[in-house]
Amino acid sequence: MTVVGPFGLSVLDHALEADVQIGIAAVEQALCEATKSDVPFITVTAQHLKDAGGKRLRPLLVLLAAQFGDPNAPGVIPSAVVVELTHLATLYHDDVMDEAAMRRGAPSANARWDNSVAILTGDFLFSRASKILADLGPEAVRLQADAFERLVTGQILETAGPRPEDDPVQHYLDVISGKTGSLIAVAGHLGALTAGADRWVVEIVTQYGERIGSAFQIADDLLDITSDSHESGKTPGTDLREGVPTLPVLLLHASAPDPSVPGDLRLRELLGQGFPADDPTADRRHAEALALFRAHPALAEAREATLRYAEEARALLAPLPDCPAKSALEGLCDAVALRTM
């Protein structure tokens, strides 16, 4: 058994292992070229998050989806680069909106430079992605445009928040479907499409990407509460401190206070007070809230949602022919779910 990929994905087939490793190396080289500019400062800022690492989930999904056609087709690697550049660009913008200080274990671009540099660098990466995309043809351009519209819509919905008549949990699920699921879905779509896979295969891996993307995002929400900074690449409890309504928090608020649950009332009290930076007790109360949340049933309920999306993704793969690529996609379901444990 060989372990490859960002999630420690177990691959039993040596040919697939070689294809994935060669493909990821080609993507990394192409990302390096795509983030270079004639202006040295832009090269530094554009390569800042690329060099910080990352899971490369989207390129990996492109490469695996391409296995159902011709994985060496000329459009496969450019497709992987397009989706990763788009993802990187959104991170620059997200960090500005979130006023984040860290990303992937390194200072965020807005913290290292300023908001204007971070925003413009994200725009630069979008432009480079569009330039590569133009060579993939009008269908690929339309797919990416539709995914980007969904991504931006999801971000706007998150910023605006749910309306009074909306279910906050469903609103959250709609947001992550747009913000995260859309681009991961298009990774599967482009990978299979550019490899010349059958249309029914393209549809399956697209829907698979949508589900695994939602599972991935919920797992990230859980890691904000359960992980240390080494695992998540950012300060633990950042979302909690900033009052971001992640799924565990929403599930907590959706349930009735229960004095029989240890720490339930105290946790609600702490979240209600918030953790303002000018409060000298904020750090202590924040640490207490994290400890209480890690033992709260709402966290287990959010974990179940991650597993449910991962299992939905796995079920979608059933019609695909049995092959190493299908097994690897099933393994991704396990790997994403394991991130929550």
Instruction: Tell me whether residue 8 is in a domain.
Output: no
- Domain limits for position 234: 14-338
Q: Considering the entire predicted model, what is its pTM?
A: 0.89
Instruction: Tell me whether residue 175 is in a domain.
Output: yes
Cα distances (angstroms) measured from residue 148 to each of 86, 87, 100, 143, 154: 9, 10, 22, 9, 10
Any idea what the CATH number is for the domain that residue 223 is in?
1.10.600.10
Looking at residue 104, its pLDDT comes to: 62
Looking at residue 224, its pLDDT comes to: 87
Looking at residue 66, its pLDDT comes to: 97
Instruction: Tell me whether residue 1 is in a domain.
Output: no
Instruction: Tell me whether residue 113 is in a domain.
Output: yes
What's the burial of 272, exposed, middle or buried (CB within 10 Å: 0-12/13-18/19+)? exposed
Looking at residue 74, its pLDDT comes to: 94
Looking at residue 8, its pLDDT comes to: 47
pLDDT along the chain (341 residues), means of 10: 46 81 94 92 84 84 96 96 93 73 68 80 91 94 94 92 93 94 96 97 97 92 78 69 90 93 93 90 93 93 94 97 94 84 69
Looking at residue 318, its pLDDT comes to: 97
Looking at residue 103, its pLDDT comes to: 67
Beta bridge partners of 10: 3
